[in-house]
Structure 1
Amino acid sequence: MTISVARTAISIPVRGLSWLGDQGTRAIAALVVFGIAIPPLGAMLRPYVTEAIFLLLCISFMRVDLIALRDHLRRPGLIVAATAWTTIGVPLIFGLIAHLTGFDTRAPGLFLALMLQAIASPMMASPAIAALMGLDATLVLVTLVTSTALVPFTASLFAALFLSGTLDISPLALGLKLLAILAGSLLVATAIRWIFGADAIQRHRRPIDGVNILILFVFVAAVMGHVIADFLANPVLSIAVAALSFAVFFALLIVTTLLFRRIGYEQALALGLMVSQRNLGLMLAATSGALPAFTWLYFALTQFPYYVAPQMLTPIARRLTAKTETSRTASATSTS
């Protein structure tokens, strides 16, 4: 009887987490709404952003498909090119344009936000989002892993080049903190995979998704908590910053897709999606949130294109996928 009661007590929250995990993008959209609508909750959760990002990284590393990772590493040329573009090309272009136009001195808060966005690694959720859109997520996954491994070194380099005196943390300390967060989460994820096994993690995918969404809420609420107050204080500025966040997102998406179009527009679009979605939470964790209010505002409003654009682009992605499948079928038929 006692065992039955214990099992029931455990199964109820597991079912709840499974249901939450099944909601997918709808749950993420709801998180944004709740984060905006309940500002006091954001203020209460803001001190825990670093811990939330660490746990999100643990879950992401825990679920990496190691077989797919090994298979794709057999084509290192494309991986090197994509990794170099997202870790070196993007921040270098951002920094040079800002420096040459004097934007870094005219709008230091916005420049800091843009540079932190540029030097960040791609979002850990990028492969999952690409898969939900019907795109091949394998290339995205491998590039994500390689660029994330490099970001402690590239971030400290570009922080030294372009953010000297702007950040409250030194470039070296930034790199070391990023390394500690990433290495620590990888070690925890590896331990979990070793103890429970990859099969068990796959079987419990739905409740794990639910846990992921709950932890993500801490980050979303902390970042979005002041959006309404900022909008009421200066609606024109808030709209302008939101428009800029969409412009940066689509600029990175389009440029990356065009740069890699020779590998096929389906994979190029997947890479473009990855490059345009930067892990701003990792930058918040590395800086302990010690950033100007304007930088926080930009980070908050950047969440909108991150979660809205994939919905907008899904019909295009599905057409590209269907076109690719048709070409493969025709090629296989002609060969046989």
Structure 2
Amino acid sequence: MLPSLQRTLAAPVRWLTWLGDQGTRAVAALVLFGIAIPPLGALLRPFVTEAIFLLLVISFMRVDLAALRAHLRRPGLIVAATAWTTVGVPLIFGLAAHLTGFDARSPELFLALMLQAIASPMMASPAIAALMGLDATLVLVTLVTSTALVPFTASLFAALFLAGTLSLSPLALGAKLLAILAGSLMVATVIRWLFGADAIQRHRRPIDGVNIVILLVFVAAVMGNVIADFLANPLLSIAIALLAFAIFFALLIVTTLLFRRIGYEQALALGLMVSQRNLGLMLAATAGALPGMTWLYFALTQFPYYLAPQMLTPIARRLTSQAAGAAAAGSAP
């Protein structure tokens, strides 16, 4: 029976392995795929929460515990990076919008920006950093610490800046985030206990493929109305897309410059993590009960999130080779 099952699963595993090997190309293709087939988005939108939950499970079950413990022995950098992404970014967003009156002029877009700011980094950011050739360990550790804090920091900033704007209270938002994160962590722990970390590492390529398939559910759901929104108001759609790219690159550049003292390779990896926010987690926590312009902004952020890594990979590889050359020169007698 077992050999028969193995033969049955061989073809799907090969296909998932091939898909996982496509790396950032497959991630970028998801955006185009989601736009090209609008009915798919309508079909998959009810399953966004489940897709986000499964993406979190996969990310948690792949955490390198040894690397996590090693980085936690040097907590200063972790604390600084965590404070920047969980406190600094939402505080700057909220205060800037309040002082300029943007929150009153465009409340739906302000809601989108604040949900982006209070979200933790994307769970896929360590994998994307690794696909780009960057050291993903620091990203992974900061991701774990900031994700653990987000139910509490999100509640705080929602109370400060989003009172009366969300369809649920700040405490309810924090409780939902905590339930989603705790539940996915428990499922990931059970999977690691049943199969072991070595087996998960051995099968990382087909798991990458599964990750991309599940990611399609989220991307298709948020991208499904992009063409209709563009045809209805092309200038507005272009303006929001430009805003999404501007915020992505602003966070990337500012974070890289803030942490440049640790080396541009690791600083760029942190910048990539901070600029890619887990909007899916916010959608799951709010059950998608968001205004139309908020949905549109979330959809258009997928362009910089999934296309930028492909564009930035040559820069990342150049920084990696420079760092390796410097390390080799430093160790030479």
Same fold (TM over 0.5): yes
C-alpha distance in 1, partners of 2:54/2:3?
31
CA apart distance, 1:30: 2.6
C-alpha distance in 2, partners of 1:324/1:3?
47
C-alpha distance in 1, partners of 2:132/2:39?
34
Amino acid at match of 2:83: A
Amino acid at match of 2:288: G
Identity of aligned residues (%): 83
Structure 1 residue 19 corresponds to structure 2 residue 14:
no
Query: What do the CA deviations read for 1:22-72 (whole angstroms, capped 9, x no partner)?
Result: 222222233222211111111111111001000000000000111111111
Please say which of residues 156-165 and 126-135 is displaced more in the overlay.
126-135
Query: What do the CA deviations read for 1:132-160 (whole angstroms, capped 9, x no partner)?
Result: 22211111111000000000000000000
Q: Which residue of 1 aligns with 2:306?
A: 307
Q: Which residue of 2 aligns with 1:155?
A: 154
- Closer, same or farther: CA 3–149 of 1 in aligned 2, 3 Å: closer
- Closer, same or farther: CA 139–7 of 1 in aligned 2, 3 Å: closer
Please say which of residues 39-48 and 86-95 is displaced more in the overlay.
39-48
- Pairs within 5 Å for 1:34-73: 34-73=33-72
Q: Which residue of 2 aligns with 1:292?
A: 291
CA contact (8 A) 2:256 2:270 kept: yes
- Pairs within 5 Å for 1:1-336: 4-333=3-332, 336=333
- Closer, same or farther: CA 49–7 of 1 in aligned 2, 3 Å: same
Query: What do the CA deviations read for 1:156-195 (whole angstroms, capped 9, x no partner)?
Result: 0000000000000100000000000000000000000001
- Closer, same or farther: CA 257–39 of 1 in aligned 2, 3 Å: same
Gaps of 5+ in 1: none
Query: What do the CA deviations read for 1:293-325 (whole angstroms, capped 9, x no partner)?
Result: 100000000000011111222222222222222
TM-score by length of 2: 0.97
| Coordinate RMSD, CA, aligned | 1.2
Amino acid at match of 1:184: G
Q: Secondary structure at the match of 2:96?
A: helix
Please say which of residues 256-265 and 296-305 is displaced more in the overlay.
256-265
Q: Secondary structure at the match of 1:166?
A: coil
CA apart distance, 1:19: 2.1
CA apart distance, 1:10: 2.2
CA apart distance, 1:4: 4.7
Count of residue pairs the alignment pairs up: 333
C-alpha distance in 2, partners of 1:295/1:50?
17
C-alpha distance in 2, partners of 1:279/1:78?
22
Q: Secondary structure at the match of 1:61?
A: helix
C-alpha distance in 1, partners of 2:82/2:28?
29
Amino acid at match of 2:171: L
CA contact (8 A) 2:35 2:224 kept: yes
C-alpha distance in 2, partners of 1:320/1:29?
22
CA apart distance, 1:3: 5.4
C-alpha distance in 1, partners of 2:77/2:181?
24
C-alpha distance in 1, partners of 2:3/2:98?
66
Query: What do the CA deviations read for 1:192-231 (whole angstroms, capped 9, x no partner)?
Result: 0001001111111122112111111110110000000001
Q: Secondary structure at the match of 2:301?
A: helix
CA contact (8 A) 2:119 2:282 kept: yes
- Closer, same or farther: CA 258–98 of 1 in aligned 2, 3 Å: same
C-alpha distance in 1, partners of 2:17/2:68?
27
- Closer, same or farther: CA 77–106 of 1 in aligned 2, 3 Å: same
Q: Secondary structure at the match of 1:11?
A: helix
Amino acid at match of 1:246: F
Amino acid at match of 2:9: I
Please say which of residues 177-186 and 307-316 is displaced more in the overlay.
307-316
C-alpha distance in 2, partners of 1:30/1:131?
18
C-alpha distance in 2, partners of 1:36/1:58?
26
C-alpha distance in 2, partners of 1:64/1:183?
15
- Closer, same or farther: CA 322–3 of 1 in aligned 2, 3 Å: closer
- Closer, same or farther: CA 209–241 of 1 in aligned 2, 3 Å: same
CA contact (8 A) 2:24 2:309 kept: no
C-alpha distance in 2, partners of 1:253/1:6?
46
C-alpha distance in 2, partners of 1:189/1:3?
25
